[in-house]
């Protein structure tokens, strides 16, 4: 059964989509059957893997509203081990339309359940909000992976996210765990970035990946070419960082995950919001 | 890697090469060691070769690839390595023969991406990497320039290489296959069943530090 990982942080511009696209691609390169679900109406993960859309406009929106089956909205990518369920701006409407559905928090979980057998990993790229779509992603997921920008305000809003995780654990999805915390956009030349890294590691311990994603020009260029960084520039520091992340991610799976993710989340949510 | 370990691996590489009549320059040694390090790094997550030990990688991959060297020296290219995997034998040979163009082909993305990385890392400008599954009749063989020589040590030579060899080799080109004692006979039988192939020579080769017997089989495209 495939593991479902939501990549979430309600803060925008922290590297969610970059991480979703490039972790998914790196896992696919390692020949793990991987599905990337774009759950952001901006559709950046969709274009980031080079999917340009088709006339039928098969997207996650159709699957959520029951207009198409999950299998019908699956699309192949340039990687033989990577499929994508694309998103387009229609998805903005879903947030409102799904309000009238029964079990509205579980719609994505229900839709993805039929696909789990086909994949080793299902990665969900969330939108920068804690709205109904992100709640659906957390209700469907086994774990949440949190990208954190290595800047002064990195931890801002994290308390709220972890509080939400705890609420989801209490009500919708008791099994939800924290997969890991990933430092992104790291400029190792600055003292500030190193300070933020130190602080985050002290706070979250083994939940924080050793792999750190650097600020990298090639990484920011690759989406405009519709390519994951591995295809755009395999030797760039950005590509190397995502390979290292995938390596660490897979080794954590083999070792049974980062220990006590859920407990840490509970602690932190308590201390930061209470 | 510790310095003493690096030194001892480098000695193994230099000594083994010398036994094959190859004097490695310092830059070539550095490049091969960088290749080894990248291979070990990628192998952890991407499983590029079942051989995990560095000494074994040197013997069973690097030196084993060098066995082709004397058969290629002085030729014109391009040399096509079909089913190159983690780059063997093509990439170490391209490093030894910088004037000879090499085309490395593999059907698995993880392998071609790794090779692109190594080619960049080593600054090789005589190597092209192609992510392709070459099959007869699907048009894929048209994507590759006709080769002057086709090298392979893939076990699946008989099923994968022979059917496309005619389309991939320029007229007068040569197939160079390294075989074990047990695979040699089957290869010779297969050559006889393809009318465009003609067996030229079988040369026993000794790979330093390996007990196994090896044969270099030369086949002409007629």
Q: What is the pLDDT of residues A179-192, one digit of tens each?
A: 999 999 999 888 88
Q: What is the DSSP letter of A205?
A: G
Q: Which chain A residues are Cβ-neighbours of B132 within 8 angstroms?
A: none
Q: Is residue B59 part of a domain?
A: no
Q: Is residue B110 part of a domain?
A: yes
Of A31, A235, A247, the CB nearest to B110: A31
Instruction: Identify the pLDDT of residue A56.
Output: 66
Torsion of CA B3, B5, B7, B8, to 10 degrees: 160
pLDDT tens digits, residue range B89-142? 999 999 999 999 999 999 999 999 999 999 999 999 999 999 988 877 777 777
Q: What CATH number is given to the structural domain containing B204?
A: 3.40.50.150
Strand partners, A107: none
Q: Which chain B residues are Cβ-neighbours of A29 within 8 angstroms?
A: 46, 109-110, 113
Whether A226 and A49 have beta carbons less than 8 Å apart is answered as: yes
* Beta strand B102-106 pairing with B169-180: unpaired
Nearest CA in chain A to B44: A247
Q: Is residue B50 part of a domain?
A: no
Instruction: Identify the pLDDT of residue B138.
Output: 73
Whether A103 and A93 have beta carbons less than 8 Å apart is answered as: no
Which residue has 């290869």 as its token pair? Answer: B187
Cβ separation B110–A80 shorter than 8 A: no
Q: In angstroms, rounded to a whole number, what is the distance separating the alpha carbons of residues A250 and A67?
A: 35
- Asked whether the predicted pLDDT for residue B53 surpasses 60, the reply is yes
Interacting residues of B116 by C-beta distance below 8 A, sequence separation 6+:
A234, A235, B129
Cβ separation B45–A247 shorter than 8 A: yes
pLDDT tens digits, residue range A107-119? 999 999 999 999 9
Q: In angstroms, rounded to a whole number, what is the distance separating the alpha carbons of residues B59 and B220?
A: 29
Q: Using a CB–CB cutoff of 8 Å, tell me whether B116 touches chain A.
A: yes
117-146 in B: which are within 8 Å (CB) of A? 117, 120-121
Q: Is residue B13 part of a domain?
A: no
**Structural fold of domain A3-273:** Rossmann fold (3.40.50)
Q: Is residue B167 part of a domain?
A: yes
Instruction: Identify the pLDDT of residue A260.
Output: 42
- Asked whether the predicted pLDDT for residue A266 surpasses 60, the reply is no
CA distance B45 to chain A (A): 5
CA distance B56 to chain A (A): 23
ipTM for the complex shown: 0.85
* Beta strand B197-205 pairing with B214-221: antiparallel
Q: Is residue B84 part of a domain?
A: yes
Write down how long chain A is: 274
Q: In angstroms, rounded to a whole number, what is the distance separating the alpha carbons of residues B217 and A19?
A: 48
- Strand blocks (E) in B54-126: 79-82, 102-106
Q: Is residue B9 part of a domain?
A: no
pLDDT tens digits, residue range B138-177? 777 777 888 999 998 865 667 778 888 888 898 889 999 9
Instruction: Identify the pLDDT of residue B92.
Output: 97
Cβ separation A230–B120 shorter than 8 A: no
Instruction: Identify the pLDDT of residue B163.
Output: 82
Q: In angstroms, rounded to a whole number, what is the distance separating the alpha carbons of residues B176 and B157?
A: 11
Q: Is residue B19 part of a domain?
A: no
3-state secondary structure of A154: coil
Q: What is the pTM of this model?
A: 0.90
If one compares B114 and A54, the residue with the highest pLDDT of the two is: B114
Q: Residue B52 region, left (φ>0) first, then alpha (ψ -120 to 50), else beta?
A: alpha
**Domain extent for B74:** 66-221
Interacting residues of B74 by C-beta distance below 8 A, sequence separation 6+:
none
Instruction: Compute and round to an integer the Cα radius of gyration of chain B.
Output: 17
* CA-closest candidate to residue A155, choices A166, A146, A142, A143: A146
Confidence grade of residue B76 (pLDDT, cut at 50, 70, 90): confident
The pLDDT mean for chain A works out to 91
* CA-closest candidate to residue B108, choices B140, B131, B124: B131
Whether B197 and B162 have beta carbons less than 8 Å apart is answered as: yes
Which tokens is B135 given? 């099959």
CA distance B40 to chain A (A): 13
**Total number of domains in chain B:** 1
- Asked whether the predicted pLDDT for residue A268 surpasses 80, the reply is no
């Amino acid at each position: 059964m495939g593991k479902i990982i939501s990549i979430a942080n309600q803060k925008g511009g922290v590297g969610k989509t970059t991480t979703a696209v490039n972790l998914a691609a790196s896992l696919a390169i390692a020949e793990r059957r991987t599905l990337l679900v774009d759950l952001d109406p901006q559709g950046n993960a969709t274009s980031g893997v080079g999917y340009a859309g088709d006339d039928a406009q098969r997207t996650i929106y159709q699957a959520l509203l029951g207009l198409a089956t999950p299998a019908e909205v699956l699309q192949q990518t340039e990687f033989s081990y990577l499929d994508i369920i694309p998103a387009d701006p229609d998805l903005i409407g879903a947030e409102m339309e799904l309000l009238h559905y029964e079990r509205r928090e579980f719609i994505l979980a229900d839709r993805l359940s039929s696909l789990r057998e086909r994949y080793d990993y299902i990665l969900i790229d969330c939108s920068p909000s804690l709205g109904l779509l992100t709640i659906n992603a957390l209700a469907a997921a086994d774990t949440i992976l949190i990208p954190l920008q290595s800047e002064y305000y990195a931890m801002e809003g994290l308390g709220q996210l972890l509080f939400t995780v705890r609420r989801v654990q209490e009500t919708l999805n008791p099994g939800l765990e924290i997969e890991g915390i990933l430092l992104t956009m790291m400029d190792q030349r600055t003292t500030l970035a190193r300070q933020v890294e130190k602080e985050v590691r002290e706070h979250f311990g083994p939940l924080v990946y050793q792999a750190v994603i650097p600020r990298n020009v090639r990484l920011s260029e690759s989406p405009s070419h519709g390519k994951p960084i591995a295809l755009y520039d395999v030797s760039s520091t950005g590509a190397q960082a995502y390979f290292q992340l995938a390596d660490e991610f897979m080794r954590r799976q083999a070792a049974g995950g980062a220990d006590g993710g859920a407990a840490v989340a509970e602690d932190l949510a308590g201390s930061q919001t209470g | 890697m510790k310095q003493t370990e690096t030194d001892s691996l480098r000695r193994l590489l230099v000594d083994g090469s010398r036994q094959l009549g190859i004097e490695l320059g310092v830059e070539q040694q550095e490049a091969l060691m960088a290749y080894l390090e990248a291979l070990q790094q990628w192998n952890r997550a991407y499983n590029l070769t079942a051989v995990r030990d560095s000494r074994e990688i040197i013997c069973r991959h690097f030196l084993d690839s060098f066995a082709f060297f004397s058969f290629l020296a002085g030729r014109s290219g391009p040399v096509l390595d079909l089913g190159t995997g983690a780059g063997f034998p093509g990439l170490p040979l391209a490093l030894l023969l910088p004037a000879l163009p090499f085309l490395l082909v593999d059907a698995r993305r993880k392998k071609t991406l790794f090779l692109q990385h190594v080619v960049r890392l080593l600054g090789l400008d005589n190597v092209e990497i192609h992510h392709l599954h070459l099959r007869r009749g699907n048009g894929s063989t048209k994507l590759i320039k006709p080769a002057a020589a086709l090298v392979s040590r893939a076990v699946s030579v008989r099923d994968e290489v022979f059917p496309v060899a005619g389309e991939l080799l320029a007229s007068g080109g040569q197939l160079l296959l390294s075989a074990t004692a047990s695979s040699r006979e089957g290869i010779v039988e297969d050559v006889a069943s393809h009318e465009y192939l003609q067996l030229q020579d079988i040369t026993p080769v000794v790979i330093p530090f390996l007990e196994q017997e090896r044969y270099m089989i030369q086949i002409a495209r007629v």
